[in-house]
């Protein structure tokens, strides 16, 4: 994938890669750290703004490298303040991110793949197909753009890796992005304010556990039994729900927090009292909380939202079993920015899905 200028992008390079860049230009190693701070802490848009670098070095850098964030082609504003960003990448692929302002916090939901190969039956991203993995600069550029455009408020940022794609199928790029996001010398997002959501790609989840600094973990469960999960989420064929929960229980959550188990409620499909009781049994002995997500309807999604009564009853059964449960309030529904509603732009051609490793 060639950039328009044909030059590599400085944005998205980690410390090791920046060290190679400065070595290649015959500069001392400490220059890499200076450039790192400009890219991820101060987030300048041009090399010319890196004022503690000598003019000659700035010129050499600008001659050999781009400094670019992904191009925003559309911002859709919801009545509730949510903004959905559509980015177009160099190869024409489009991805979406969502900015969600709330009373006490503000959140960015980012994508890690253009589309998604996992084809969960209730998810517009899955239904619309898969294009490719994102590069680190394409992931970090979503955060940089949204942060730069948000009103200057003292509220802490939350970043959730819950947009288009399965982040653990794009492990290398995702981890480079996570490190820069949590780095106090980078974006400085506190690990407990960063959440990675996964269906449970077990080998990658095991690797993530070995990272010295890790984000919060959310597991996309969505069904209480293997049989029903297999119907809704084809990945269940590969990674068993019980094994995923066992691995999640070993995941070291920052600051003693708990794993979140996400469960989209589909009217008449997985929202009945029998399902709630099966979920209680599935999570018996597990430390974690359940986040119920009433389906956000879309014309292409072949399911209905749950009734308010079904949501209440589901919550009651979980609460009585002493499981901490919350119900996610939909945001940005009117602009298709809510969970499961991000999708490839019409007319984009999906590619065959890679085999999940």
Choice between 125 and 158, CB closer to ligand SF4: 125
From the list 94, 107, 125, 133, which residue makes contact with ligand SF4 (rule: CB under 6 A)? 125
**Contact criterion met (CB below 8 Å) for 285 and 254:** no
From the list 126, 129, 167, 200, which residue makes contact with ligand SF4 (rule: CB under 6 A)? 126
Choice between 140 and 293, CB closer to ligand SF4: 293
Catalytic residues: 96, 339
What sign results for the dihedral spanned by CA atoms 126, 128, 132, 134? negative
Q: How far is the CB of 341 from ligand SF4 (least distance, A)?
A: 10
| Contacting ligand SF4 within 150-169 (CB under 6 A) | 164-166
Choice between 14 and 166, CB closer to ligand SF4: 166
- Find the part of the chain contacting ligand SF4 (CB under 6 A) among 32-40, 86-94, 112-120, 265-273: 112-120
Q: Token pair of 206, please?
A: 């095991």
Neighbours of 247 (CB within 10 A): 21
* Count of positions on this chain that bind ligand SF4 (CB under 6 A): 12
Residue-wise DSSP of 278-305: HHHHHTTT--EEEEEEE----TT----P
**Contact criterion met (CB below 8 Å) for 31 and 66:** no
Binding-site string for ligand SF4 from residue 24 to residue 63, where x marks contact by CB under 6 A and - marks none = ----------------------------------------
For position 306 contacting ligand SF4 by CB under 6 A, the verdict is: no
- Tell me the H-state helices in the chain: 15-24, 30-36, 55-64, 124-128, 136-149, 171-182, 202-209, 226-232, 241-250, 273-282, 308-320
Q: How far is CA 171 from the centre of its chain?
A: 12
From the list 21, 83, 114, 123, which residue makes contact with ligand SF4 (rule: CB under 6 A)? 123
Residue 62 CA to residue 82 CA, distance in Å, equals: 36
| Contacting ligand SF4 within 63-92 (CB under 6 A) | none
Closest residue to ligand SF4, judged by C-beta, is: 126
Choice between 164 and 336, CB closer to ligand SF4: 164
Q: Per residue in 143-165, is it b (16+ CB within 10 Å) or e — as a string? A: bbbbbeeeeeeeeebbbbbbbbb
Q: Per residue in 127-137, is it b (16+ CB within 10 Å) or e — as a string? A: bbbbbbbbbbb
Binding-site string for ligand SF4 from residue 210 to residue 249, where x marks contact by CB under 6 A and - marks none = ----------x-----------------------------
Q: CA nearest 173: which of 200, 199, 204, 148?
A: 204
**Contact criterion met (CB below 8 Å) for 93 and 348:** yes
For position 338 contacting ligand SF4 by CB under 6 A, the verdict is: no
For position 199 contacting ligand SF4 by CB under 6 A, the verdict is: yes
Q: Per residue in 59-86, is it b (16+ CB within 10 Å) or e — as a string? A: ebbbeebbbbbbebeeebebebebbbbb
Q: How far is the CB of 239 from ligand SF4 (least distance, A)?
A: 12
Element holding 326 (H helix, E strand): strand 324-327
- Find the part of the chain contacting ligand SF4 (CB under 6 A) among 81-89, 117-125, 252-260, 282-290: 117-125
Choice between 126 and 186, CB closer to ligand SF4: 126
Choice between 123 and 189, CB closer to ligand SF4: 123
Q: How far is the CB of 260 from ligand SF4 (least distance, A)?
A: 14
For position 116 contacting ligand SF4 by CB under 6 A, the verdict is: yes
- Interface with ligand SF4 (CB under 6 A): 116, 118-120, 123, 125-126, 164-166, 199, 220
């Amino acid at each position: 994938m060639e950039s328009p200028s044909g030059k590599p992008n400085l944005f998205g390079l980690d410390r090791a890669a920046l060290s190679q860049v400065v070595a290649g230009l015959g500069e001392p190693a400490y220059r890499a750290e200076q450039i790192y701070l400009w890219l991820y802490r101060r987030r300048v848009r041009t090399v010319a703004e890196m004022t503690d670098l000598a003019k000659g070095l700035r010129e050499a850098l600008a001659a050999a490298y781009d400094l670019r964030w992904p191009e925003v082609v559309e911002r859709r504003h919801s009545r509730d303040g949510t903004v959905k960003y559509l980015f177009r990448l160099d190869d024409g692929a489009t991805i979406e991110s969502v900015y969600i302002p709330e009373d006490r916090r503000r959140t960015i939901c980012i994508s890690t793949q253009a589309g998604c190969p996992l084809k969960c039956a209730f998810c517009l991203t899955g239904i619309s197909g898969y294009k490719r993995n994102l590069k680190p600069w394409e992931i970090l550029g979503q955060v940089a753009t949204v942060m730069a455009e948000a009103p200057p408020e003292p509220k802490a940022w939350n970043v959730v890796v819950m947009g288009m794609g399965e982040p653990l199928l794009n492990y290398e790029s995702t981890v480079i992005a996570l490190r820069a996001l949590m780095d106090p010398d980078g974006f400085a997002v506190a690990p407990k304010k960063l959440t990675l959501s996964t269906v449970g790609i077990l080998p990658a989840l095991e690797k993530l556990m070995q990272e010295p600094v890790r984000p919060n973990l959310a597991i996309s469960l969505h069904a209480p039994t293997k049989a029903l999960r297999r119907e809704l989420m084809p990945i269940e064929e590969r990674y068993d729900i019980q094994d995923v929960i066992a691995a999640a229980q070993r995941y070291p959550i920052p600051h003693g927090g708990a794993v979140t188990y996400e469960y989209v409620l589909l009217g008449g499909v997985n929202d009945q009292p029998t399902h709630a009781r099966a979920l209680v049994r599935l999570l018996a002995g597990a430390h974690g909380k359940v986040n119920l997500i009433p389906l956000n309807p879309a014309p292409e999604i072949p399911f209905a939202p749950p009734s308010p009564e079904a949501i209440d009853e589901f919550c009651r059964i979980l609460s009585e079993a002493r499981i901490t449960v919350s119900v996610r309030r939909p945001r940005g529904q009117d602009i298709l920015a809510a969970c499961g509603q991000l999708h490839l732009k019409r007319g984009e051609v999906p590619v065959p899905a890679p085999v999940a490793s």
